Structure 1
Amino acid sequence: MSRTSLRSSRTAVAAAVVVAVAACGGGDEPTGADPTTAGSLDTAGGVVTASSEVPSSSDGVGVALILKNTSNPFFVSMSDSARAEAEALGVELTVAAGTEDGDTDTQIAAIEDAVDRGDAGILITPNGDAVVPALEAAREAGLYTIALDTPPNPADAVDITFATDNRAAGVLIGEWTAATLEGAPATIAMLDLFDDQVISVDVQRDQGFLLGMGIIDEVDTSGNGEESPTGEYRGGEYEIVCHEATQGAVDGGRSAMEACLAQDPDVDVVYTINEPAAQGAFDALTAAGSAQDVIIVSVDGGCDPGLRLVSEGVIGATSQQYPGRMATLGMEAIAELAAGGDAPEVTPGLDFFDTGVSLVTDSPVDGVDSISVAEGREICWG
């Protein structure tokens, strides 16, 4: 299939954020899946470290980094790390992003642009299933494709995914919540990502939390909200009063929390898909006069707002991811392949490359491994 034939008629790509990065400097070395341990790209135990050697034939290698959006600091961190690694490796990097979570049109256009430029590879945080045909076409055209953070559906639409084990991230905050409750009844609000499409990261975090709480014993990949609304968690009784979409944003978190409070003003546990949604939920709870009585948990672990919100008591605990590591290792993998090296392999026992997760809280509980906010700040989003 020719590169020219891959470009379909489409709207202008004015919404894309595109930046070409010249190759010229040096970058930071990432830590491994265990934030205190260094390793290699051989995936032994999921522990990884970017090589300090610049591939000799990386000149002229093009890589496209295609993000969900540029409003979430998580994706800004990915971009910053990718730029630093591009300079270190002598790679020409183009960065594009959707206008918001769920914007697949802009991502599709960016994928097609990468093919037209003759890039060596694509790093993408997919906004939805609609990007899959374009990714498959890019692979057919010879581009090595890596999903970061969010695998596509199906997962084999890309060559490999570098990501947090999102189910494990959810389990950690669920276990922490159950232990913190100490058997007290739990009235739970679930603030998810979407309600109009099924995204793996959304399902895995949501249902990982429920696994950790002991509310379910297996994940239903068809979507969220299939669990029993009442029953027993690990230690006491629970009621789930709502599943509301937030779009992963502060405004979405606030409106979702307001909708949940309208159903039951006595919510005392709030699961949130990410920390911007957690901030919005807290704002709604504050306006309702009940924030001080609610446990909020989340996933991401950024220095700000995530760890700041934990230190301020807004979030009780969060599962820290390492988006900079995802981007850095993805850049290195494509550069190594272009220089004739080997393709990366998945972490043993998983169908993706695990870039690690840590529970961050200043209120640790017995039986759940965690690090403090101070420790989290030392490695946040590395």
Structure 2
Amino acid sequence: MSRLSTLGFAAALACFATSTMAAQPVIGLITKTETNPFFVKMKEGAEAEAKKLGAKLLSAAGKQDGDTAGQITAMENMVAAGAKTILITSSGDAIVPTIKKIKAQGVQVIALDSPVPEADALFATNNYKAGELIGAYAKATLAGKKPVIATMDLFPGHPVGAQRHNGFLAGYGLKTLPADSNELAQPAEVVCMADSFGDAAKGQTGMENCLQKNADINVVYAINEPAAAGAYKALKAAGKEKDVVILGVDGMCSNGVGNVEKGVIAATSMQYPLKMAAMGVAAGVKFAKDGKRQAGYTDTGVDLVAAKAVAGVKSIDTKKARGQCWGD
């Protein structure tokens, strides 16, 4: 082969490589934080699916839950880097104008876990159902005994917090609000409500305050398993841990399944963050190929995990849950 031919071949090869790289779908994943095990598992799912499908994954996170400014910057940076699909767990509606802007530029936006206005689609747990499952379990466990309920909620106005709280009340058969409400229902049976922000320390403080208001609490609903663990700590310090049924949501290995095994939590609703992210990446690759945006809501599943099964409430045992839990 002549030198000219060799140069021509090299140029063609370089051109082929460039076009191949250009054809690689670029997908962005933005979570609320980098440290929460839920989002760690979500990132793992996205990375695995991107590798499997030949996509390039960009990832970023806010400094803490509620850092919408950080999420906005991440979206803008990812679009500048060529991302045509953004997967995001929203920290708040302040990101909506940016979502509208990048959609107008031809970018697909898919919400994961938390709904956000203007997103093309949502892949998430049915959080109302997650609440219903633990509510029904609590009612069956109390077996006719009058419920005196404390709730360790997220914070006011968040759709996920509202859906789980109101779903719990629905599952218990109490007066509640529908799944599309962002308000927190408070029937007479709920004697205390505290904002835990999903944090164990705040859950403990919230439970301590609730016990001061009413020492007869016998049911605790918690927005997630860390908040449930904090509530248990407060109850144990007061010598009341054996008199209260504690329920949570998430599906973590230690705080969730492990605490069900230990009797700290009576039951928890397990969600699947890895599946959310994997489905999001697959939708991003599909969009890169056919230009058709994902639309609507896709339920990524939820299972009730309980150490003891009760009649009328479908659940899985901790042995099965161990095979699909996540985080610490």
TM-score (norm 2): 0.89
Q: Give, in whole Å, the separation in 2 of the partners of 1:252 and 1:217.
A: 25
| Structure 2 SS opposite 1:353 | strand
Q: Give, in whole Å, the separation in 2 of the partners of 1:342 and 1:221.
A: 27
Which of 29, 47, 64 is residue 65 of structure 1 equivalent to? 29
- The one-character-per-residue Cα deviations of 1:47-84 (angstroms, maximum 9, x if unpaired) are xxxxxxxxx98853221111111232111110111111
1:52 corresponding residue in structure 2: none
Which of 245, 250, 258 is residue 308 of structure 1 equivalent to? 258
1:200 corresponding residue in structure 2: 159
Unmatched tracts of structure 1, length 5 or more: 1-55, 231-238, 347-351
1:374 corresponding residue in structure 2: 319
Alpha carbons 1:274, 1:299 under 8 Å: kept: yes
1:182 equivalent to 2:132? Answer no
Change (3 A) 1:217 1:203: closer
| Structure 2 SS opposite 1:306 | helix
2:121 corresponding residue in structure 1: 160
Alpha carbons 1:58, 1:89 under 8 Å: kept: no
Q: Give, in whole Å, the separation in 1 of the partners of 2:198 and 2:320.
A: 25
Which of 333, 350, 367 is residue 283 of structure 2 equivalent to? 333
Change (3 A) 1:217 1:225: closer
Query: How far is the alpha carbon of 1:343 from its aligned partner?
Result: 4.0
Change (3 A) 1:158 1:225: closer
Which of 302, 305, 308 is residue 363 of structure 1 equivalent to? 308
For 1:97-112, list aligned pairs within 5 A: 97-112=61-76
Alpha carbons 2:86, 2:107 under 8 Å: kept: yes
1:286 equivalent to 2:286? Answer no
Which of 219, 225, 228 is residue 269 of structure 1 equivalent to? 219
Which of 129, 136, 143 is residue 93 of structure 2 equivalent to? 129
RMSD: 1.9
Q: Give, in whole Å, the separation in 1 of the partners of 2:176 and 2:165.
A: 13
Query: How far is the alpha carbon of 1:221 from its aligned partner?
Result: 4.4
Query: How far is the alpha carbon of 1:313 from its aligned partner?
Result: 0.7
Alpha carbons 1:220, 1:226 under 8 Å: kept: no
Question: Higher Cα Rg: structure 1 or 2?
Answer: 2
Alpha carbons 1:57, 1:339 under 8 Å: kept: no
Q: Give, in whole Å, the separation in 2 of the partners of 1:71 and 1:285.
A: 27
1:248 equivalent to 2:198? Answer yes
Change (3 A) 1:123 1:242: same
1:74 equivalent to 2:38? Answer yes
1:219 equivalent to 2:178? Answer yes
1:317 corresponding residue in structure 2: 267
Q: Give, in whole Å, the separation in 1 of the partners of 2:53 and 2:313.
A: 39
Change (3 A) 1:289 1:71: farther
Q: Give, in whole Å, the separation in 1 of the partners of 2:25 and 2:207.
A: 46
1:191 corresponding residue in structure 2: 152
1:37 corresponding residue in structure 2: none
| Structure 2 SS opposite 1:189 | strand
Q: Give, in whole Å, the separation in 2 of the partners of 1:337 and 1:366.
A: 45
Alpha carbons 2:166, 2:185 under 8 Å: kept: no
Change (3 A) 1:82 1:286: same
| Structure 2 SS opposite 1:84 | helix
Q: Give, in whole Å, the separation in 2 of the partners of 1:255 and 1:355.
A: 33
Change (3 A) 1:226 1:358: closer
**Percentage of pairs with the same residue:** 45
Alpha carbons 1:325, 1:381 under 8 Å: kept: no
- The one-character-per-residue Cα deviations of 1:237-272 (angstroms, maximum 9, x if unpaired) are xx3122111111112211221221221122211100
Change (3 A) 1:160 1:381: farther
Change (3 A) 1:185 1:356: same
1:94 equivalent to 2:58? Answer yes
Say how many residue pairs are matched. Answer: 308
Query: How far is the alpha carbon of 1:323 from its aligned partner?
Result: 0.7
Q: Give, in whole Å, the separation in 1 of the partners of 2:295 and 2:92.
A: 24
Q: Give, in whole Å, the separation in 1 of the partners of 2:56 and 2:194.
A: 40
For 1:2-41, list aligned pairs within 5 A: none
2:104 corresponding residue in structure 1: 140
